[in-house]
Amino acid sequence: MNLLTNFVLYLYALSLLFSLSDLLQRNQNARRIGTGLLSLVWILQASFFIARIWMDNDLPVITRYETTFFFSWVLVTFALVLYMFFRAEVFLYSLSGLGFGIFLFSLSGQSAINADLAAFTASGGIWPLHIALSIGAYALFTISAIFALAYLYMHNRLKSKRWSTLLHRLPSLQWIEQMSYRFALIGWASLSIALLLGCGWIIVSGHLAMLNDLKVYSSLVVFVAYGVYLWRGVRLSTFGTRLALWNLIVFALVILNYSAMNIFSGFHKWSWM
Burial code (b: 16+ CB inside 10 Å, e: under 16) for 83-109 equals beeeebbbbbbbbbbbbbebbebbeee
Question: For position 272, what pLDDT does the model report?
Answer: 45
Among 10-14, 29-33, 260-264, where is mean pLDDT lowest?
260-264
Is 266 a residue whose pLDDT tops 60? no
Please report, for residues 39, 139, 186, 237, the alpha-carbon distance to residue 134 in angstroms, rounded to integers and kept in the order given.
24, 9, 12, 28
pLDDT at 68: 85
Residue 112 scores a pLDDT above 70: no
In what helix (H) or strand (E) does residue 24 lie, and over which residues does it extend?
helix 3-24
Amino acid, single-letter form, for residue 83: Y
pLDDT cut 70: percent of the chain above it? 86
**Structural contact between residues 7 and 43, judged by C-beta atoms closer than 8 angstroms:** no
Mean predicted confidence (pLDDT) in 65-76: 89
Cα–Cα dist 189/156, whole Å: 31
Residue 155 sits at the vertex; the CA angle it makes with 149 and 159, to the nearest 5 degrees, is 150
Model confidence pLDDT, tens digit, residues 233-252: 887 666 789 999 999 999 99
Write down the pLDDT at residue 129.
86
Give the range among 12-16, 57-61, 124-128 with minimum mean pLDDT: 124-128
**pLDDT above 90: percentage of residues in the chain:** 51
For residues 52 and 147, the model is more confident at 147
Of residues 135 and 207, which shows the higher confidence score? Answer: 135
pLDDT at 83: 93
Q: What is the largest CA-CA distance in the chain?
A: 61
3-state SS, residue 194: helix
pLDDT value at 273 more than 50: no
pLDDT of residue 268: 56
**Contact at 8 Å (CB) between 103 and 9?**
yes
Which CB contacts under 8 angstroms, 24+ apart, belong to 4-10?
4/44, 4/48, 5/107, 7/44, 8/41, 8/44, 8/45, 8/103, 9/103, 9/104, 9/107
